[in-house]
Amino acid sequence: MKSLFLSAAVIALFSGPAMAGKAFVSNERGNTISVVNTETWEVEHEFFAGNRPRGITVSPDGTKIYVCASDDNLVRVFDSSTYEELPSLPSGPDPELFVIEPSGKRLYIANEDDNLVTVTDTETRTVLAEVPVGVEPEGMGISPDAKWVVNTSETTNMAHFISTEDYTIKHNILVDQRPRYAQYTADGSRLFVTSEIGGTVTVMDIDADGAPTVVGKISFEVAGVQPEWLQPVGAKVTSDGTRLFVALGPANRVAVVDAQSLEVLDYILVGQRVWQLDFTPDEKYLLTTNGNSNDITVIDVAQEAAIRSVQVGQQPWGVVTVE
Amino acid sequence: MRRFFAPILAAIFLCVTAGVAAAIDVKAAVLRIDYQTLLPISRYDQKPDDLGFAGAVLADEDNATTGAFLGHTYETVMVAVPPEEADAAMDQLLGEGIRLFVVLARADDLLRLTDKAAEAGALVFNAQAPDIALRDDQCRANLLHIAPSRAMNADAVAQFAVWKKWTDWFLVSGSNPNDVALAEAYRRAAQKFGAVITEDLTFEDTGGSRRTDSGHVMVQRQLPLFTQEAADHDVVIAADETDYFGKFLTYHLWTPRPVMGSGGLRPVAMHGAHEAYGATQFQTRFDRSAGRYVRPEDYNVWLALRVVNEAVTRANTAEPDGVRDYALSDAFDLAAFKGQKVTFRDWNGQLRQPILLYDGSVTASVSPQEGFLHQSSLLDTLGLDRPESSCTAFN
């Protein structure tokens, strides 16, 4: 999502000679980050990123890469050009996924082991608040106006709507088993929550005041694939709100969904155990992390087809792109 | 009678969800019968005092966290009794108004308590007894099985052996009734999946030779001789539910072969090192709450109470019939850290679930194995399938 908001800002910032974009891939088991050139699709660099790096995001100005180093119980920070490590951020125990607000000031971090969402100030590097949520918080989404952070709890099976004004939960929506990811549309009018074990995506319409209403549920079906392997995890929606892409985990496919009618249009075969997704800033490509085949798949968004795969480190988990 | 009380978490969450559902205070009980048994072969397998109960404590914590958002509270009473006090304990708990039970007991006691519970309209979850008859002609309409059956465990091992192309089996059974029943499950599994038992021997339980009196010295002499004349085989399958020789087999065979079943690679519902499918989070929560690693009994109790929580959360009922009906319905599914949803078989009340194959240190594999197909659920390749069960209580 961040890249959708970023593109304009980043383009404005870099007025010099055109630079090749980069994708940063966190390798959960390899404890590294692979840096992939998004024009040549070559791995340019790989560097140590802490123990069990999972969630990964970028500062709005594109200069800092934030990584949830789950087994180090902190967020590690790296310079996106030099890959030098910068001072870490406190995260609370076992950070898995997080979301950064469009201003870049606050990080909202899910602490899987402690039923908490930790709010960290990226400038002062202090914890601003801890919000108690359901059991095993995981997915984190933020509304485009930054007024709401949505956390999904994997064992409680709810989407918790946290107000960023007072850090309290205002709405709880029950969803299907093991919700993994929450994704708003760019205009903030719709929210998608994936449920890994339930095998569905819950679709909510969001009022002007941020209140959610469940309006539908997306299910998946692939001939020749056992229904229990269709496990929705990562999800991204195009900035025009027309297409939703859903990573289906051990089904090794990304579903292409009409984000308005909620009809599943196609399934794109990718690598094994596809986990998280990110668009390149120009939204020309969608990158998928494939945990069991140790690669990423590059999907051409307009063609809705996989065009190549790139070998990265061990057990790629998350991906973020930078202009 | 010893009683363990789970801490009741204070509701610390602001509940702002539209108050459509009425508050429900869920009260359940875990009833565990403690039998006089010999010590296990390994000191690591000694039963902790809070066996099973530790799963209830974690379940109450998890359920209370979820319940706090919906105005529901959870309290589970935990009772451990010797067999002769079990009926009185059940009477007392029923007298306190409890209608949801998780029972850790042997099959005969479980059935008697289940029938007593039925008279009061109560629902029972079986968290321990693996007997196939309980899922077959001895099934009960108010009895749901969280614990896998001997058939499920044997099928899980058989599938792995066949996947490995280890289809010639040397079956070594114990001589006690539960060992004999387990051996029978392995014979059935061999037939079901196309393995051949080339040698079928019983290793008599003559007492003695346990670990405290230098058990390994004796078995180092006894087991090679015992296994010397066996016909050619790919793998040794141990059926030793009593736990008096199976774990010694691995390094005391005449012919070196892998061991599976009651020694070597063992089928379990859960173990403390299982980390796949997000289970690390469950393990760390459990370790922190209990101060030890999880046992299958703890996991079974936790899962039973999570079933109750699902019914309360999604069907808004804590009534025994309501919980049962929801659990058996198509709407029910539950994440259980085994990589796919678990659900109940509506023909005998057994929880469908993957079985972990555990070598004492890691999850070596998970059954069902690739390639064993089924027309409705791959999980139904483990244990009694619909046409195989003569249970009619769920019709």
CB–CB of B391/B328 below 8 Å? Answer: no
Those residues with Cβ within 8 angstroms of residue B20's Cβ, 6 or more apart along the chain or in another chain: none
- How far is CA B355 from each of CA A251, B67, B364, B370, rounded to the nearest angstrom? 21, 29, 11, 13
* Tens-digit pLDDT profile for residues A252-286: 999 999 999 999 999 999 999 999 999 999 999 99
DSSP characters for A215-237?
Answer: EEEEE---TTS-GGG-----EEE
Cross-chain Cβ contact A132/B333 below 8 Å: no
CB atoms within 10 A of CB B199: 16
The residue in chain A having the minimum alpha-carbon distance to the alpha carbon of residue B342 is A197
Tell me what pLDDT residue A1 has: 43
Superfamily of domain A2-13+21-313: YVTN repeat-like/Quinoprotein amine dehydrogenase (2.130.10.10)
Q: Place A12 in a pLDDT band, splitting at 50, 70 and 90.
A: very low
Cβ separation of A136 and B281 shorter than 8 Å?
yes
> B306-322 burial string, b = 16+ CB within 10 Å, else e?
bbbbbbbbebebbbbee
| Nearest CA-CA partner of A57 in A244, A318, A283 | A318
Q: Which residue's structure tokens are 């040794």?
A: B236
Structural domains present in chain B: 2-148+270-357 (3.40.50.2300), 151-266 (3.40.50.2300)
- Residues of A with Cβ-Cβ distance to B334 under 8 angstroms: 177, 197
Domain coordinates in residue numbering, chain A? 2-13+21-313
Each residue's pLDDT tens digit, A53-106? 999 999 999 999 999 998 899 999 999 999 999 999 999 888 989 999 999 999
**Mind giving me the DSSP string for B312-347?**
HHHH---SHHHHHHHHHSTT--B--SSSS-BEE-TT
User: Cβ separation of B278 and A178 shorter than 8 Å?
Assistant: yes
Residue spans of alpha helices (H) in chain B: 53-68, 86-95, 107-119, 150-163, 177-193, 215-227, 279-290, 296-315, 320-328
**Residues forming beta bridges with residue A65, ordered by sequence position:** A58, A78
Distance CA B240, CA B57 (A): 31
From chain A, the residues in CB contact with B339 under 8 A are 250
Selecting from B14, B65, B70 the residue whose C-beta is nearest the C-beta of A135 gives B65
**pLDDT recorded at residue B222:** 86
pLDDT recorded at residue B287: 97
Identify any residues that bridge with A190 across adjacent strands, giving them in sequence order: A205
Residue B210 is predicted with a pLDDT of: 56
Joined tokens for residue B76? 């589970």
Cα separation, B153 vs B270, in Å, equals 12
Rounded Cα gap, residues B275 and A278, in angstroms: 27
Which residue type occupies B242? Answer: T
CB contact under 8 A, B66 and A155: yes
Residues of chain B neighbouring A229 (CB-CB closer than 8 A): 340
* A162 vs B13 pLDDT, higher one: A162
- Are residues B378 and B372 in contact, defined by beta-carbon separation less than 8 angstroms? yes
Phi, psi for residue B154 in degrees, rounded to 5 = -65, -40
Q: Which residues contact B70 (CB under 8 A, 6 or more apart)?
A: A172, B15, B17, B21, B313
Single-letter residue type at B209: S
> Closest partner residue to B13 among A169, A199, A229, by Cβ?
A169
Q: Verify whether the Cβ–Cβ distance B278 to A115 is below 8 Å.
A: no
Q: pLDDT at position A13, please? A: 45
What pLDDT, on the 0 to 100 scale, is given for residue A173?
97
Of A178, A132, A172, residue with least CA distance to A153: A178
Strands A116-121 and A126-132: antiparallel
**Burial profile A279-294: b = 16 or more Cβ within 10 angstroms, e = fewer:** bbbebebbbbbbbebb
DSSP track, B244-262: SSGGGGGGS-SS---EEES
| pLDDT averages per 10-residue partition of chain B, 395 residues | 48 41 90 92 92 98 96 97 98 98 98 98 98 98 98 98 98 97 98 98 79 64 92 98 93 97 98 94 96 98 98 96 97 95 97 98 97 93 96 94
The set of residues, in sequence order, having a beta carbon less than 8 Å from that of A226 and lying 6+ positions away, is B378
Whether residue A15 has pLDDT greater than 70: no
The answer to whether A273 and A292 have CB atoms below 8 angstroms apart is yes
A13-22, A60-69, A142-151, B312-321: range with lowest mean pLDDT: A13-22
Q: Say yes or no for a CB contact (<8 Å) between A226 and B378.
A: yes
Phi, psi (deg, nearest 5) at residue B141: -65, -25
Interface test with B, best of A155, A204, A275 (most B CBs within 10 A): A155
Distances (CA, A) of B113 to A233, B88, B100, B147: 43, 10, 12, 17
Determine how β-strand A95-100 pairs with β-strand B143-145.
unpaired
**SS3 of chain B: helix, strand, coil, percent, to 5:** 40, 20, 45
Q: From CA A227, how far away is CA B42, in angstroms rounded?
A: 41
Hey, which residues does A246 pair with through a beta bridge? A235, A255
